[in-house]
C-alpha cells in the first residue's frame, strides 16, 4: 500500500511551520546576534559585526564566568542524582509495597504545579534563620544543633537549593517511573520470585532493565532541565550569597539587564551549544537502543 | 503475617512523613491567606488571631482576577488543545512512515527539547508578523513551544498501535484523514491526556511569555496578578497568599480530574522498555 | 562648571525640605478642557511594581470619567521591568506612557535615545511644578521629556527605636563609626540585633555604602567629577575601603544579626515592633507605617548612617519618572494626561492616597503631611552637608550595577573576595555600561 497516501505528509506542515517560526528561528537569530555588538545604543549607532569578540570577552573577563559554567554542570549532575534515585525507590514502594496509594501519588505530585515565584517566597521564609519554619522545627524536635543558615552559609546553600529542587521535582520523576513500572509484565516478577530472588536482585535484574524507557525519559528531561536551570536559583538566591550559586542563565539574565545584549546572546549560545552536544549524545544512545 | 503488617505500617509511616514535608508549605499559604497583613508577614503556621475572609474578595477585585482567569483559561485551553492535536498528527505520520526524510524531521523537532527560548528575538519575529499584543500570537507561541515535548511523547505511543488496524481500515474504505481522526486518534487518548495535562499546567504557570509578547494589561494571565501585592517598600503578604490560593486552584482541579491519565498515558507509551 | 550646577541643585533640593511651603512658588496647572475630542480612546501605561502603587487610582478614574476614555495600567514585576521596557522600546511596541527610575544621568544611560522614543514636552507649563533639582532627571540636551512626582523625605537613613535607646541608657545617637560600634555593643548585650540588614533582598545592604556619598567627595574633593570623566576609580579609594572594612567588621561582630545574608525584609515591621531589632536603613515615612500597622507604643527617630564618620545628608534627586512614548497614536491624550496629573486637585489626591508618603515635592500649594519626626531630624542635619548627592546617582553608570555590587559586598563579607575587588568590579561594570552607550570618556 502507498504509505504517502495513507499517512498524508501534509499533517507535518503546520507543526513544522510553527516550530520553525516561533521556536527555532528566534533561537538561531540569537546565535547571529552573538557575533555583533548589539546593545542598548544599537538603535542610534547601528549594528556591527565583531566576530568572536563576545566569546573572547566571556573567557577573558575578570568576572568569574567560568565558575558559572562549572556550577551549571554541577547542578545538572547532583540535582538529577538526588531526584532520580529517591524517586525510583518511592515509585517502587508505592507500586509494590502498598495498596491504596492514589492519595500519596496525588500529594507527591503537587509541588510541581506551583509557580517558581511562589516557591521562592515560601522557601526564603521557611529557611529564615531566626523565625523560619525549618529551624523552628529542628529546635522543636530537639535537633537544635542542626540549625543552619540555609541560604547564606557557603557550605549549605547548594544543599538547600538541591533540597527545594527535589521537593518540587521528585513527584514528576516518580510519576514517570510509576508509569514505567506499571508497564512491566507481572510474569517476570513471578518468575523471579520462584527463583527466590530478593528485593535487590529483582531490582537489578528485572526492574531496572525493564524500565530503560522511563529512565531514559527522566534523564533527558532532567539533564536539559539542569543545564537550562534558572528559576529555582533566581528565586532562592539570585546567584548569591556573593556569586556562589551563579549559573550560566543567571549571567545571561544579568548581562541582558545591563544592556549588553550581544554578550548576553553569546552566553546563551554557549549554553545552546552545551545542551546541543549533550542532546545529540542522548538522542544517539536512544536511537541505538531502539535498533537493538 | 504480623511481620507483613508491620512492614506495611512502616511503609505508610514513610509515605505520611513525606506527605507532611510536601504539604507544609501549602498549609503555610492557606493559613496565612486568612491573616492580617502584618500577621501574614510572620509566615508561621499558627492559626489567624482573627480570620480575615475578606482577603479573597479584595484580591479578586484589586488584581482584576476575573479577567486574568479568563485569559489564562483561554491560553491554556486553546494552546494546549491545538498543540497536542498538531503534535499527534505530526508524530503519527513520522512514526508510521519512516522515510529517511521523516526520521530527520523527527530528530529536528526533538532538538527543541534542548533549546532555551529566546524571548528577545522572539519579540522581533512577532513584530515582523504583526502579532504583538494579540491573544492569537500568545497562543501560537505556547503551541509552538510544546511541540517538541508532545511529539517526543506521542511518537513512541503510536508505535504501540498495531499497523494492521490502518490497513484494515483502509481496506474498509476509510480515507487517510478519516483513518487518523476516527480510528487512530481515539486510540491515542491516554497519551494525549498526559500531554494535555502536563502542558496545560505549564502554560498556566508561565507568565513570562505573555509579558514579553504583549504590552496590554488586558492580556495578562492570572499568575501575573500576584506581583501587584509585593513591592520594594511594602508587601501585602495576606493578599499574596490569597492570590496564590486562587491561582493554583484551577490547576489543582485539572490535576485532580486528570491525574490518573498522566500515568495511564505513559504506561503504554514512551516509557515502555 | 557642571559640578557647581549640580551642587546648587542639590542644595536647593535639600533646602526645600526646610521651607516646605514658604519658598515654594505656587504653580497652578489646569486640565485640558474636555470637548469630547478623546472620547472612546484608550491610554496605556507601563510601570513597575511600587512606582504608582494604588495612589494614582482615583486620579486615573477621574481622568477616565472626564474625557470618556479608558486607561490600561500594566504593572510589571520589578525584576522584569527593565527588560520588558527595553524590548518594547526597541521594537516600537511601547505603551503610550512608560516609567523609568530616573536620575540626572538616567535618560542618557537607560533610554539612551530619547529623541527617538520620547515625546518632547518642552514648553509645557507643568515643568514649573517640579523643583529645579527634579527637573534635571527629566531634561536631556535642553529638552523636557519626563515628569517626576516624588516625595522629598529623608530616604534610607537610620530609623531607630527611640524608646529602646532610652531604656538601654543610650543618650545620644551615634555620629561616628566608633560611637556606632559602642552603641551596637550595648544593644547586642541586651540580646537585641542592633542593625537589621536584610541581605537576602539583594538591594538593601549596599545602601550603607552608597548613601554616604558626601563623605567620599569630602575626603577627595572632585571625586564625582573625576569618576564621571573616567579619571578616577573606585578601586584604591582609601575612604571607600575604610567604609567597606567597617561594614565587614560590624558583620563579623554579629551586629547585623546572626544570619543577615539569608534574611529578607518580609518581616521587618514585626521585627521592629517586637523589639528584635533597634534600627535599620529606611525612609522617614517608614515611621508612619510602623505606627499605623504595628501595635507598638514605641517612639522612633532618625540619624544619619555613621559609617566612615559620615555626617552628610543623602540628597537624592532621583525617583520614578513618567515619559510619553513618541510612537503613540494618542499623543494629545498623553499630553492631556500629564497635564491632568499636574493639577492641584490631582496632586492632592495622589498624596492623600499614598500611605507611604508624607509629602509631594512640587511647587504647588497642597496640604503636605510632614511628620514631626522628619522635622526634628532635619533640624539636626548640617545645612552645609547637603550639597552632594548620593554616590549611586551622583556618578554615571553606578546605579545600573547596584545588584552586582551588593553581591560582591556579600562575597567580601564572607571572605571569598577582597575589599578592593568589590571596588574594582564596580569599575569594570561601569566601563561596560559606558561602552554600551558609547561614552567618549571611556574610549
**Counting one residue from B and one from C, how many pairs have CB atoms under 8 Å apart?**
78
Tell me the nearest-neighbour CA distance from C437 into chain A, angstroms.
Answer: 5
Query: Which residue, among B72, B120, B250, would best test binding to A if mutated, counting the most A CBs under 10 Å from its CB?
Result: B120
Query: How far apart, in Å, are the Cα atoms of B133 and each of B83, B126, B129, B130?
Result: 21, 9, 11, 9
* CA B93/CA A8 separation, integer angstroms: 7
Residues C340, C236 within the same domain: no
Residues C111, C193 within the same domain: no
What pLDDT score does A292 carry? 38
Is C306 part of a structural domain of the chain?
yes
What pLDDT score does A175 carry? 85
Bridge partner list, C280: C159, C196
For C376, counting Cβ atoms within 10 Å of its Cβ (0-12 exposed, 13-18 middle, 19+ buried), the class is exposed
Q: Which of residues 93-152 of A touch B (CB under 8 A)?
A: 93-94, 97-98, 101-102, 104-118, 121-123, 125-126, 131, 133, 136
Is C392 part of a structural domain of the chain?
no
C430 pLDDT above the threshold of 50: yes
Which of these three, C327, C351, C368, is where a domain ends? Answer: C368
User: Tens of pLDDT along C392-426?
Assistant: 999 999 998 999 999 999 999 999 999 999 999 99
Q: Which of residues 102-161 of C touch B (CB under 8 A)?
A: none
The mean pLDDT value for C105-110 works out to: 89
Question: What does the longest C-alpha to C-alpha distance in chain B come to?
Answer: 73
Residues C229, C141 within the same domain: no
Check the CA dihedral B122-B128-B133-B138 and report its sign: negative
Residues C63, C180 within the same domain: no
Pairwise pLDDT comparison (B154 vs A117), residue with the higher score: B154
For residue C196, which phi and psi values (nearest 5 degrees)?
A: -80, 115
Contact A44 C112 (CB under 8 A): yes
* CA C334/CA C45 separation, integer angstroms: 10
Sheet order of strands, C97-102 included: C70-76, C42-48, C97-102, C319-324, C146-147
Query: Which residue, among B100, B102, B144, B194, would best test binding to A if mutated, counting the most A CBs under 10 Å from its CB?
Result: B144
CATH of the domain at C37: 3.40.190.10
C239 pLDDT above the threshold of 80: yes
* CA A242/CA A256 separation, integer angstroms: 19
Residues C147, C221 within the same domain: no
Confidence of residue B231 (pLDDT cuts 50, 70, 90): low
Is C381 part of a structural domain of the chain?
no
CB B188 within 8 A of CB B157: yes
Q: Up-side HSE of residue C418: CA atoms within 13 Å toward CB?
A: 6
- What DSSP designation does C137 have? T
**C237: helix, strand or coil:** coil
Q: Where are the domains of chain A?
A: 28-118+167-291
Residue numbers in A near C82 (CB within 8 A): 257
The domains found in chain B, sorted by start residue, are: 55-267 (1.10.3720.10)
User: Tens of pLDDT along C275-292?
Assistant: 999 999 999 989 988 888
Q: Which of residues 161-190 of A touch B (CB under 8 A)?
A: 167, 171, 175-176, 178-180, 182-184
Helix axes A261-291, A53-60, angle to 10 degrees: 90
Within an 8 Å CB–CB cutoff, is residue A39 touching chain C?
yes
Residues C201, C56 within the same domain: no
Confidence of residue B133 (pLDDT cuts 50, 70, 90): confident
Residues C145, C173 within the same domain: no
Contact A24 B179 (CB under 8 A): no
* CA B201/CA B205 separation, integer angstroms: 6
Sheet order of strands, C193-196 included: C193-196, C277-282, C157-161, C300-303
The mean pLDDT value for B176-183 works out to: 88
Within C232-380, residue ranges assigned H as helices are 238-252, 268-273, 285-293, 331-341, 344-352, 372-380
Contact A8 B177 (CB under 8 A): yes
C8 pLDDT above the threshold of 70: no
Is C385 part of a structural domain of the chain?
no
**Partner residue facing A179 (CB), from B23, B115, B263:** B263
Pick from C339, C340, C324, C336: nearest CA to C62: C340
Residue A36 φ/ψ region, left for φ over 0, alpha for ψ in the -120 to 50 degree band, beta for the rest: beta
Identify the H or E element spanning B155. helix B135-159
Residues C141, C283 within the same domain: no
Mean pLDDT split into 10-residue runs, chain A, 292 residues: 78 94 89 88 78 88 84 96 95 81 84 84 88 89 88 93 95 87 80 83 85 84 90 88 91 84 88 85 70 42
Which residue in chain A has the smallest CA separation from C81? A257
* CA A274/CA A268 separation, integer angstroms: 10
Give how many domains chain C has, as a whole number: 2
* CA C128/CA A244 separation, integer angstroms: 49
User: Tens of pLDDT along B180-200?
Assistant: 998 899 888 888 888 888 899
Residues C261, C179 within the same domain: yes
Residue C322 φ/ψ region, left for φ over 0, alpha for ψ in the -120 to 50 degree band, beta for the rest: beta
Parent domain of C189:
157-312+397-442
Taking the CA atoms of residue B247, residue B251, residue B252 and residue B258 in that order, the dihedral angle to the nearest 10 degrees is 170
Residues C9, C118 within the same domain: yes
Is C384 part of a structural domain of the chain?
no
Pairwise pLDDT comparison (C234 vs A219), residue with the higher score: C234
What pLDDT score does A287 carry? 64
C20 pLDDT above the threshold of 50: no
Pairwise pLDDT comparison (B248 vs C5), residue with the higher score: B248
Q: Which three cell numbers stand for residue B169?
A: 481500515
B210 pLDDT above the threshold of 60: yes
Residues C263, C408 within the same domain: yes
What pLDDT score does C127 carry? 95
Mean pLDDT score of chain B:
86
Could you write out the DSSP letters of every residue in B162-187? -HHHHHHHHHTT--HHHIIIIIIHHH
Residue C360 φ/ψ region, left for φ over 0, alpha for ψ in the -120 to 50 degree band, beta for the rest: beta
Pick from A57, A58, A40, A38: nearest CA to A48: A38
Tell me the nearest-neighbour CA distance from B154 into chain C, angstroms.
Answer: 35
Within an 8 Å CB–CB cutoff, is residue A45 touching chain C?
yes
Superfamily of A28-118+167-291 according to CATH: MetI-like (1.10.3720.10)
Is C374 part of a structural domain of the chain?
no
What pLDDT score does C13 carry? 58
Residues C114, C55 within the same domain: yes
What pLDDT score does A1 carry? 56
Amino acid at each position: 500500500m502507498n504509505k504517502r497516501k495513507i499517512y498524508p505528509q501534509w499533517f507535518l506542515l503546520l507543526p513544522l511551520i510553527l516550530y520553525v517560526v516561533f521556536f527555532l528561528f528566534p533561537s538561531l537569530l540569537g546565535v547571529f546576534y552573538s557575533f555583533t555588538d548589539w546593545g542598548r545604543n544599537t538603535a542610534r549607532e547601528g549594528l556591527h559585526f565583531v566576530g568572536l569578540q563576545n566569546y573572547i570577552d566571556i573567557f577573558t573577563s575578570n568576572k568569574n564566568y567560568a565558575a558559572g559554567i562549572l556550577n551549571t554542570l554541577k547542578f545538572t549532575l547532583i540535582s538529577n542524582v538526588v531526584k532520580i534515585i529517591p524517586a525510583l525507590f518511592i515509585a517502587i514502594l508505592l507500586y509494590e509495597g502498598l495498596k491504596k496509594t492514589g492519595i500519596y501519588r496525588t500529594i507527591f505530585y503537587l509541588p510541581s504545579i506551583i509557580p517558581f515565584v511562589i516557591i521562592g517566597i515560601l522557601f526564603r521564609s521557611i529557611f529564615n534563620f531566626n523565625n523560619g519554619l525549618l529551624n523552628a522545627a529542628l529546635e522543636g524536635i530537639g535537633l537544635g544543633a542542626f540549625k543552619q543558615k540555609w541560604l547564606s552559609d557557603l557550605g549549605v546553600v547548594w544543599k538547600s537549593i538541591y533540597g527545594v529542587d527535589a521537593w518540587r521535582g521528585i513527584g514528576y520523576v516518580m510519576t514517570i517511573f510509576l508509569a514505567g513500572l506499571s508497564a512491566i509484565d507481572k510474569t517476570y516478577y513471578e518468575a523471579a520470585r520462584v527463583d527466590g530472588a530478593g528485593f535487590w536482585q529483582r531490582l537489578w535484574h528485572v526492574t531496572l532493565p525493564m524500565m530503560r524507557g522511563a529512565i531514559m525519559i527522566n534523564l533527558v528531561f532532567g539533564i536539559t532541565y539542569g543545564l537550562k536551570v534558572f528559576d529555582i536559583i533566581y528565586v532562592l538566591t539570585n546567584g548569591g550569597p556573593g556569586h556562589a550559586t551563579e549559573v550560566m542563565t543567571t549571567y545571561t539574565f544579568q548581562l541582558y539587564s545591563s544592556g549588553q545584549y550581544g554578550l548576553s546572546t553569546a552566553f546563551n549560545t554557549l549554553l545552546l551549544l552545551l545542551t546541543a552536544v549533550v542532546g545529540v549524545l542522548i538522542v544517539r544512545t536512544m536511537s541505538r537502543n531502539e535498533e537493538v | 503475617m504480623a511481620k507483613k503488617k508491620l512492614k506495611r505500617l512502616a511503609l505508610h509511616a514513610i509515605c505520611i512523613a513525606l506527605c507532611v514535608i510536601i504539604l507544609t508549605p501549602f498549609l503555610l499559604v492557606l493559613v496565612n491567606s486568612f491573616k492580617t497583613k502584618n500577621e501574614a508577614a510572620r509566615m508561621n503556621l499558627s492559626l489567624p488571631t482573627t480570620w480575615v475572609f475578606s482577603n479573597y474578595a479584595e484580591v479578586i477585585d484589586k488584581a482584576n482576577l476575573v479577567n486574568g482567569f479568563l485569559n489564562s483559561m483561554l491560553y491554556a485551553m486553546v494552546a494546549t488543545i491545538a498543540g497536542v492535536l498538531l503534535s499527534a498528527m505530526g508524530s503519527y505520520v513520522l512514526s508510521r512512515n519512516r522515510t529517511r526524510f521523516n526520521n530527520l524531521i523527527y530528530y529536528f523537532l526533538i532538538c527543541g527539547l534542548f533549546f532555551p527560548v529566546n524571548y528577545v528575538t522572539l519579540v522581533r519575529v512577532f513584530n515582523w508578523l504583526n502579532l504583538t499584543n494579540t491573544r492569537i500570537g500568545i497562543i501560537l507561541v505556547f503551541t509552538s513551544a510544546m511541540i517538541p515535548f508532545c511529539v517526543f511523547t506521542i511518537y513512541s505511543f503510536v508505535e504501540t498501535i498495531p499497523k494492521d488496524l490502518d490497513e484494515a481500515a483502509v481496506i474498509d474504505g476509510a480515507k487517510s484523514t478519516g483513518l487518523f481522526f476516527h480510528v487512530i486518534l481515539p486510540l491515542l487518548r491516554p497519551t494525549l491526556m498526559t500531554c494535555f495535562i502536563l502542558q496545560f499546567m505549564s502554560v498556566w504557570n508561565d507568565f513570562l511569555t505573555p509579558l514579553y509578547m504583549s504590552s496590554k494589561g488586558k492580556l495578562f494571565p492570572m499568575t501575573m496578578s500576584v506581583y501587584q501585592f509585593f513591592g520594594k517598600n511594602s508587601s501585602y503578604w495576606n493578599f499574596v497568599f490569597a492570590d496564590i490560593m486562587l491561582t493554583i486552584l484551577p490547576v489543582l482541579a485539572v490535576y485532580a480530574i486528570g491525574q490518573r491519565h498522566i500515568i495511564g498515558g505513559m504506561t503504554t507509551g514512551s516509557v515502555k522498555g | 562648571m557642571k559640578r557647581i550646577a549640580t551642587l546648587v541643585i542639590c542644595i536647593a533640593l535639600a533646602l526645600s525640605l526646610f521651607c516646605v511651603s514658604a519658598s515654594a512658588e505656587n504653580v497652578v496647572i489646569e486640565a485640558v478642557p474636555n470637548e469630547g475630542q478623546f472620547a472612546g480612546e484608550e491610554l496605556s501605561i507601563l510601570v513597575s511594581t511600587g512606582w504608582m502603587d494604588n495612589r494614582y487610582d482615583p486620579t486615573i478614574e477621574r481622568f477616565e470619567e472626564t474625557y470618556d476614555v479608558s486607561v490600561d495600567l500594566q504593572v510589571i514585576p520589578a525584576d522584569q521591568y527593565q527588560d520588558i521596557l527595553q524590548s518594547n522600546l526597541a521594537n516600537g511596541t511601547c505603551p503610550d506612557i512608560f516609567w523609568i527610575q530616573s536620575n540626572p544621568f538616567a535618560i542618557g544611560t537607560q533610554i539612551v535615545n530619547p529623541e527617538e522614543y520620547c515625546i518632547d514636552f518642552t514648553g509645557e507649563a507643568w515643568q514649573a511644578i517640579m523643583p529645579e533639582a527634579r527637573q534635571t532627571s527629566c531634561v536631556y540636551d535642553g529638552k523636557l521629556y519626563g515628569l517626576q512626582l516624588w516625595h522629598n523625605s529623608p530616604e534610607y537613613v537610620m530609623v531607630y527605636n527611640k524608646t529602646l535607646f532610652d531604656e538601654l541608657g543610650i543618650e545620644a545617637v551615634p555620629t561616628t563609626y566608633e560611637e556606632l560600634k559602642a552603641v551596637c555593643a550595648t544593644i547586642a548585650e541586651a540580646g537585641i540585633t542592633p542593625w537589621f540588614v536584610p541581605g537576602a533582598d539583594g538591594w538593601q545592604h549596599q545602601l550603607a555604602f552608597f548613601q554616604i556619598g558626601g563623605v567620599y567627595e569630602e575626603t577627595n574633593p572632585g571625586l564625582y567629577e573625576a569618576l564621571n570623566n573616567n579619571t578616577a576609580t573606585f578601586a584604591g579609594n582609601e575612604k571607600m575601603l575604610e567604609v567597606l572594612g567597617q561594614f565587614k567588621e560590624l558583620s563579623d561582630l554579629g551586629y547585623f544579626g546572626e544570619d543577615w545574608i539569608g534574611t529578607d525584609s518580609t518581616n521587618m515591621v514585626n521585627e521592629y515592633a517586637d523589639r528584635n531589632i533597634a534600627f535599620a536603613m529606611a525612609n522617614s515615612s517608614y515611621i508612619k507605617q510602623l505606627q499605623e500597622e504595628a501595635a507598638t507604643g514605641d517612639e522612633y527617630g532618625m540619624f544619619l548612617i555613621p559609617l566612615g564618620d559620615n555626617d552628610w545628608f543623602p540628597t537624592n534627586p532621583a525617583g520614578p519618572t513618567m515619559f510619553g512614548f513618541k510612537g503613540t497614536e494618542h499623543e494629545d491624550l498623553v499630553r492631556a494626561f500629564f497635564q491632568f496629573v499636574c493639577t492641584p486637585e490631582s496632586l492632592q489626591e495622589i498624596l492623600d492616597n499614598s500611605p507611604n508618603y508624607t509629602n509631594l515635592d512640587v511647587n504647588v500649594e497642597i496640604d503636605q503631611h510632614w511628620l514631626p519626626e522628619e522635622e526634628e531630624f532635619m533640624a539636626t542635619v548640617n545645612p552645609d552637608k547637603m550639597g552632594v548627592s548620593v554616590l549611586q546617582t551622583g556618578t554615571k553608570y553606578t546605579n545600573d550595577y547596584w545588584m552586582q555590587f551588593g553581591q560582591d559586598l556579600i562575597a567580601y563579607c564572607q571572605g571569598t573576595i577582597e575589599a578592593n575587588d568589590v571596588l574594582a568590579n564596580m569599575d569594570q561594570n561601569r566601563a561596560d555600561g559606558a561602552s554600551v552607550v558609547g561614552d567618549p570618556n571611556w574610549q
